Chains A and B, each alone.
Chain A
Amino acid sequence: MDFDPFILARIQFATNISFHILFPAISIGLAWVLLFFRLRFTQTGDQAWEDAYLFWVKIFALTFAMGVVSGITMSFQFGTNWPGFMEKAGNVAGPLLGYEVLSAFFLEASFLGIMLFGKDRVSNRMHLISSFLVAFGTTLSAFWILSLNSWMQTPAGYHLEDGVVMVDSWMEVIFNPSFPYRFFHMLIACLLTSAFVIAGVSAWRALRNVDGPATWKVMKTGVMMAAVLAPIQILVGDFHGLNTLEHQPAKIAAMEAVWETEKGAPFTIFALPDDNTRSNRYAIEVPYAASFILTHDPMGEVKGLNEFEGEHPPVAIVFWSFRVMLAVGGLMLLVSWWAAWQLRNNKTPTKPLLYALSAMTFSGWVAVLAGWYVTEIGRQPWIVSGVLKVQDVVADHSSATVGGTLIGYILLYGFLLASYIGALLNLSRKPAASLSLTAVSAPQTTNKEA
């Protein structure tokens, strides 16, 4: 078998970044939730909030560590796999990544030490400040990364000199046309992901009667977050879609599998888009709906893929990823409202709800990954829309090199993901109080090697 090293390099990058995003998607939201727990305890003195913090901070520490180490990979991969990107677009990518490291990465990493292990060494106030700085750092980090990613989608504020990007205006680069939409869409996605993780794990604990009041408080926090944010996310997603239609019509055409430009385009619920015949098979359509969703006018014009022939993304995967994201988003809305309805006035939730919430624990991961596949694969064949093609920046490695390391990464990530979920289950089985004694060693096991 002879694989194209270019395709392998893309799969490798996709593997790395997909694995990485799982963890920030949880820790960005969880950092703010932890700060909320600490503030509630400081205000009310209710031990349940402190128990909630002490349980979740352990999961946070693990999640954060997974995010940090998988993130280091990213900063190297631009050079190892996509040197042409740094060569041509380094004048934009470098400073934005640099500001991320300088303003955010150090901040979160340094104050994390105080937040996790310094609680008995600093005042409550200093601990609250540290927790805030960690949460702020994770969010600021997302700001810079999403700014760069958005610039790659909708580049602005630059001109080209011999094919090299030169910056004219940093404000236009940072706040490029798609940035505000993508930033808020992703930030809410992170909050929703963490909301479902804390609600799901708490529901699982409730089913097993692991914990007392802390579990209920946490579950309610997660459910209320989700119930408020899910509809907002749909609205923000809609704005994001309108923005994409304006700046990246080819991506929208692929998301909706619209081949011919038409007015009053239908929304395709199900279809098998075929790149060879350039048409959809077995399509089930809702008339006028795509035009209505995208232009807010049933007779609005949606540009078809045929206008971008040779320069549009693969259709089927973008089309389906988009539908997966929508479906999971819809499910999140339903489950969170159902749960919010049951939990109103502190009523006890029913078993079916607890099962549903546990089943939805990692629903945010599915939606986040599907969403990123839409936006990233939807940008193809460009690495910087209309400026630089992915094909032109790839490093010249053999397929054996890229394929071999890819297998290594997949094995490592598979193992780590299983271990992460295993550790989550292991921690969730135990009451918060038994975990809070010491982080490093349970006394009875100190002298035996497992």
Chain B
Amino acid sequence: MEYWLPIIYMGIMGLALLIYVILDGYDLGVGLLVPLADEAEKDMMIASIGPFWDANETWIVLGIGVLLIAFPVAHGIILTSLYLPVTLMLMGLILRGVAFDLRVKAGDHRRGLWNKAFFGGSLIASVAQGWMLGAYITGLQSSTTSLLFSALIAMTLPALYLILGCGWLLMKTDGDLRNKAIGWARMAIWPMGLGLFMVSIATPMVSSSIAEKWFTLPNALYLMPIPMVCVFCYGVIVVALNKTSVLKQGYSWLIFACTVAICLMASLGLAYSIFPDIVIGGLTIWESAASVKSLQFTLVGVVITLPVILFYTFFVYRIFHGKATALSYE
């Protein structure tokens, strides 16, 4: 138990954070795209994420919650080192969460202000999350390399969110807005690709322990599917974006699905890179784990509730499936 429980929890935490990146990723991405659209399109874009964003954000609370439940010591160390980006991210999430409502409820003369707040909050939150990820991968150091690397990921993650956002709009909207989304995706795909490429090269350079894990035989061979799937999916996105006939023939989900596959591969790669550390180069999952009794107690809840949560999340998405319609309380 003492060996397996922390591993199970690391898996749950990874799953929660992966789901967070995908789900809140698309709605943050839509937030980043809002300034590019006209007012009616803004309404439609926000309508497309309206029923979901709240539950989407809950996944980061679960991810951080699992860190807190299972690895309380690491929770303290990581969040204390990430104090400033965490604070900025929270402020960004607060701003965009309320802007969502206030842009239609604070009065028409304030709408422009809240549109800007919605974009600004989404931008601050995604940049801050990128920075946090970068700082985390480099072991929470404050060396120049670490800062540069954090800055790099801070610029890459929003590009990934943009593609997720475009992929979402392709599925949920049509007409001009959909064509615009294809155009936006064509622009965002290059910085995203460059970013992912740079990150893949930089990660082993920044951390020698990670390099060793990836570039020794036979591990390198077993790991080949990860970069290969990424390159393949990236290629599919690029081709599809330039052959819009494909996207029009009922393959709207293609861009979104391929980006999700890239996220999945990236997180598998990351998990492999850092395991069994929780604070890279500082603390393993076993060293920072909570008591077995506490972990068991919570595991009961996780085993019961997580499938239920996934089930009703699916249920909600099914109720709102298809093209988005204007939001109405009626």
Contact = CB atoms under 8 A, between A and B. Distances in A.
Contact of A101 (B65, B77, B316, B328): B65
A242 interface: no
A94 B50 CA distance: 31
Interface string A428-450: 00000000111111100111111
Interface string A405-428: 100110010001001101100110
Interface string A145-173: 00000000000000000001011001000
B108 A78 contact: no
Interface stretch (B144-152, B217-225, B270-278, B293-301): B293-301
Contacts of B60: 72
Interface in B123-165: none
A40 interface: no
A83 B105 contact: no
Given A83-B80, A91-B290, A98 B66 contact: yes
Given A75-B68, A448-B39, A450-B113, A90 B330 contact: no
B305 interface: yes
B40 A447 contact: yes
A14 interface: no
A439 B327 contact: yes
B75 to A, nearest CB: 5
B291 A83 contact: no
A166 B107 CA distance: 53
A170 to B, nearest CB: 6
Contact of B51 (A69, A117, A447): A117
A113 B55 contact: yes
Contacts of A427: 105
A95 interface: yes
Contacts of A412: 91, 94-95
A102 B306 contact: yes
A58 interface: yes
A73 interface: yes
Given A76-B79, A408-B91, A112 B54 contact: yes
A408 B97 CA distance: 17
Interface in B278-330: 290-291, 293-294, 297-298, 301-302, 305-306, 309, 312-313, 316, 319-320, 326-330
Judged by DSSP, the binding face of A is helix
Given A94-B68, A102-B62, A412-B95, A166 B54 contact: no
Contact of A70 (B54, B67, B94, B329): B94
Given A75-B68, A93-B68, A69 B329 contact: no
A80 B87 contact: yes
Nearest to B67: A79
Contacts of B79: 76, 78-80, 83
Interface in A101-137: 101-103, 105-107, 109-114, 116-122
Contact of B327 (A83, A440, A450): A440
A395 B327 CA distance: 44
Contact of A98 (B65, B94, B327): B65
Contact of A110 (B50, B55, B291): B55
B301 A99 contact: yes
Contacts of A72: 57, 60-61, 90, 93-94
Given A106-B309, A119-B329, A448-B39, A113 B54 contact: yes
Contacts of B46: 440
A66 interface: yes
Nearest to A12: B87
Contacts of B67: 79
A16 B311 CA distance: 33
A5 to B, nearest CB: 12
Contact of B312 (A83, A111, A121, A395): A111
A117 B328 contact: yes
A121 to B, nearest CB: 5
B39 A447 contact: yes
A80 B86 contact: yes
A66 B76 CA distance: 26
Contacts of B52: 113
B72 interface: yes
A113 B329 contact: no
Interface of A: 54, 57-58, 61-62, 64-66, 68-70, 72-73, 75-76, 78-80, 83-84, 86-87, 90-95, 97-99, 101-103, 105-107, 109-114, 116-122, 164, 166-167, 170, 395-397, 401, 405, 408-409, 412, 416, 419-420, 422-423, 426-427, 436-442, 445-450
11 contacts: A68-B97, A73-B90, A75-B68, A78-B68, A105-B62, A119-B330, A412-B91, A422-B107, A439-B327, A449-B115, A450-B108
Please provide the 7 A-B residue pairs with the shortest distance between their CB atoms, ordered closest to farther: A83-B76, A90-B72, A79-B79, A113-B51, A94-B69, A69-B97, A86-B72
Given A94-B68, A449-B115, 12 more contacts: A79-B80, A98-B65, A102-B62, A106-B313, A419-B98, A423-B105, A423-B106, A437-B328, A439-B329, A440-B43, A450-B110, A450-B112
